[in-house]
Structure 1
Amino acid sequence: METQNIYCIGRNYAKHAEELGNAIPKQPILFSKPTHALVYTDGQVISLPKDKGEVHHEIEIVLRIDRDVQKGDRVEDVVSEIALGLDLTLRDVQSVLKEKGHPWLRAKGFKNSAIVTPFWKFEGVESLKQVDFSFVKNGDVIQKGNIQNMMFDFQAIIDECAECFGLGKGDLIYTGTPEGVGPLHSGDECILYWGAEEKGRFIVE
């Protein structure tokens, strides 16, 4: 299925907002990435910017929308597959943009900034609550999360995106990251896990 739009939710886990010194949002913070930012993991080397300051990792559950979303649709009506992804951020660039009151696109939309694993069947929200997802860098667990800790659940996210932008077949939604974000460096070996199951890996260049 061809990707049409990539939408992302910022600060959807309270501890992540706190670790960056950000206020807890009262409604979902929405932003987007260009489709050129998307790259699938297959064990390959992924090139990241080297001259724009720190590139931070943010592991997230990614929803794939498989039909046009209408008002009142439930998550299970419009999502058949999920994946794990990394929303990468040029943190130094983002800090400057925030100080100036400018959009985040330069910090969030660069090539390879939307890393995603292969998708698998979505078994429903309740089943996802039983499994933690994690990001492992060079053998160490750096981030670990569970959707039970989201401030805005999948339904709220889908409703908000559909109302603000419209949602259709092929759209992806990055649903927010737990605490533990930090920089990636050249040579880092990165693995994304769903429970104990490896879903994707890559090496940073």
Structure 2
Amino acid sequence: MDQIKNIFCIGRNYANHAKELGNEIPSSPILFSKPTHSLVKADGKSISFPKNRGEIHHELEIVLYIETEVPEIFEVEEVVSKMALGIDFTLRDEQAVLKEKGHPWLKAKGFRNSSVITEFWSFPGIDACTKTDFSLLKNGHTVQIGNITDMMFDFKEIIKQCNQYFGLGKGDILYTGTPEGVGAIKHGDTLALRWGNEEKGRFSVTMEQNCF
């Protein structure tokens, strides 16, 4: 695993995803974090998830790797060296209860194995990203597909916001938001993450009754 210091995430960054869950469209980025212990690679193995905590939803995302401290004035290509695809898994039933109580989402977002990630590759630049869709296949069927042109807050804005509130440095990664099509996983599912026509990672799902 590449050396990763902090995991920052953007919620509801695609309007159609917010709508599919009945959430309001945010006027500014919704920021949250996840512990590094939640990271696990999509390298073909089986990944375990808790069976007894309600529905767990997949949320496919582009992940950016921050190479350096972020100055006040910057271009994305100057501070991002690599990218990956990832899945921000969410305990949806638990999240709903936490939101209703006005509590933080951490218990629903930060459990072990909730941050699946592929290997990183060199960041190709904003223009190349606009020309490439990313997608998630579940059991061979495409369930999520996105393009950064559909983001409400682009890479530069979310980097700026995260840096303003938390500070960013080498080794920090950003999960940049998920397009519509999120859904529950079940035991035996196989998930594949694709960048254009290239598969970047895959894994199978194991649901365990006594899994953490």
With the shorter chain as reference, the TM-score category is over 0.9
SS of aligned partner of 1:186: coil
Q: Where does residue 138 of structure 1 map in the other structure? A: 139
> In structure 2, what is the Cα distance between the partners aligned to 1:74 and 1:100?
39
Q: Deviations over 1:99-132 (max 9, x none)?
A: 0000000000000000000001111001101110
Q: Where does residue 202 of structure 2 map in the other structure? A: 201
TM-score, L = length of structure 2: 0.96
> In structure 2, what is the Cα distance between the partners aligned to 1:41 and 1:160?
28
1:122 aligns with 2:127: no
Gaps of 5+ in 2: 207-212
> In structure 2, what is the Cα distance between the partners aligned to 1:70 and 1:55?
37
Matches within 5 A, 1:1-205: 1-205=2-206
Q: Deviations over 1:120-170 (max 9, x none)?
A: 111100110111000000011000000000000000000000000000000
The letter of the residue matching 1:26 is S
> In structure 2, what is the Cα distance between the partners aligned to 1:17 and 1:42?
29
The letter of the residue matching 1:166 is G
Q: Deviations over 1:168-189 (max 9, x none)?
A: 0000100000000000111001
The letter of the residue matching 2:108 is A
Q: Deviations over 1:60-112 (max 9, x none)?
A: 00000011112112211110110000000000000000000000000000000
Q: Which runs of 4+ in 1 moved over 6 A?
A: none
Name the count of aligned residue pairs: 205
SS of aligned partner of 1:157: helix
> In structure 2, what is the Cα distance between the partners aligned to 1:182 and 1:121?
30
> In structure 1, what is the Cα distance between the partners aligned to 2:75 and 2:115?
26
TM-score, L = length of structure 1: 0.99
More off after superposition, 140-149 vs 70-79: 70-79
The letter of the residue matching 2:20 is E
SS of aligned partner of 2:28: coil
The letter of the residue matching 1:160 is Q
> In structure 2, what is the Cα distance between the partners aligned to 1:19 and 1:137?
19
